[in-house]
Structure 1
């Protein structure tokens, strides 16, 4: 009797543990999961308001997300798909959902800030960007990509050497590529003392002010127009 009771108790225990394991959702350790809400929001927006294919697609981190493209480029049909806090690898991961469906005629990327802050090396960032370019060439052959240099900022001035190393590598990639353009924003964002101009940033010393976006628009526009002429 006691043996049967012990077997029954063991069976009940096993069943309880099994149920608890089934009830608990599997842990998602993917570093990309945190952006799922942003990417899903893009997709929901596309359903609600279908986007024309062949636009100029802006993608990357918060410097892209905060950019009021309609104000900066009123004559160009541009689509903003920036998601704040993202790294280059995030745009690679979500390429099939945040880039490819739009079949853009040009792509503008800004990323790298957050990568360096998370202690990625300049070469790792360049490698991630190379993977992005490979995806573009495979899915959208011939599409021009413009990379806006990692900016110098007040908040992350301690990373300036790595910022410039990253930019140097990607500038070299652009010099060797027919479809990649590098837009330098480093020197134009510095004052006479060689440090970032305060008026180009909001209070956090990291994100761009209206004056910062005006400068970026001025620096980027000629490259977009050249690419537009080449595409015709």
Structure 2
């Protein structure tokens, strides 16, 4: 009991409390500093189970990020001859891929990583400046363990259901594009080609929810991304 009182009060812990410290260190990550949702643990375990059943190629081309990546069911056929790996997890933010890098990036030793993230972040209230900082943290995290891996950032897309974010997206994309140039990261603009003649999100590129893309939308992504694949 004394050990528990000391721990709660911030006093010097006794031996039993010190022994419990490793357990505390393994507790769920805090929110919002580290991840946007602790439920992503289920996705990580799903990936690990898939890898155990059918190991993906090492030194492949890894696509990670949010639902636009996860729902890209034709990824392999859209880039024939490229050893692609899809590790998108829907609803995720950029910082989530940073936090889970040791589970969805580093083990694959990819020759290239392409990330699509930022859309959900801005919709959740993160600022363009915060997204820029998250981008830098992602790049530095990957390069810590994989200094030779090529990186590419896919800009946020303009979706009809989030048209109110267009100005914020433009600002965030511009900030990240500048940092990408500074860090030697490829910046892939899919924002501009997904606008219609009036400068609004092209409704014809989306399914009924007006957020996720149909085949026409993915064909634009295929066209814009292909020149950057290493």
Say whether the fold is shared (TM-score over 0.5): yes
Correspondent of 1:219 among 208, 211, 224: 224
Provide the C-alpha distance between the structure 2 equivalents of 1:138 and 1:29, rounded to a whole number of angstroms: 21
The Cα offsets for residues 162-206 of structure 1, whole Å up to 9 and x where unpaired, read as 10111001110122233x000111221111111111111111111
Number of equivalences:
199
Equivalent residue number for residue 166 of structure 2: 160
For 1:171-186, list aligned pairs within 5 A. 171-178=177-184, 180-186=185-191
How do 1:66-85 and structure 2 match up within 5 A? Answer: 66-67=71-72, 68-85=74-91
Taking structure 1 as reference, are residues 220 and 30 closer, same or farther at Cα in structure 2, changes over 3 Å only?
Answer: same
Distance across 2 between alignment mates of 1:175 and 1:30: 31
- Partner residue of 1:89? 95
Task: Identify the residue that residue 114 of structure 2 maps to in structure 1.
Answer: 108
Distance 2:133 2:106 in 1: 20
Cα distance in structure 2, aligned partners of 1:168 and 1:29: 30
Is it true that 1:58 corresponds to 2:63 in the alignment?
Answer: yes
What is the alpha-carbon distance in structure 1 between the residues aligned to residue 65 and residue 153 of structure 2?
Answer: 10
4+ residue runs over 4 A deviation: 26-29
User: Distance in 1 between the 2:212 and 2:98 partners?
Assistant: 23
Q: Gaps (5+ residues) in structure 2?
A: 1-23, 32-36
Alpha-carbon shift at residue 30 of structure 1 (Å):
3.8
- The whole-number CA distance in structure 2 between the counterparts of 1:29 and 1:49 is 29
- Measured against aligned partners, the alpha-carbon deviations of 1:121-170 in whole angstroms (never above 9, x if no partner) come to 01111111111100111100121111110111100000111101110011
Consecutive unaligned residues in structure 1, runs of 5 or more: 1-25
Question: What are the equivalent positions in structure 2 for 1:31-46 lying under 5 Å apart?
Answer: 31=31, 32-46=37-51
1:193 and 1:223, CA in 2 relative to 1: closer, same or farther beyond 3 A?
Answer: same
How far does the alpha carbon of each residue in 1:69-96 deviate from its partner, in whole angstroms, 9 at most, with x for none? 1121122110000000000010011000
User: Greater CA radius of gyration, 1 or 2?
Assistant: 1
Q: What SS does the aligned partner of 1:176 have? A: helix
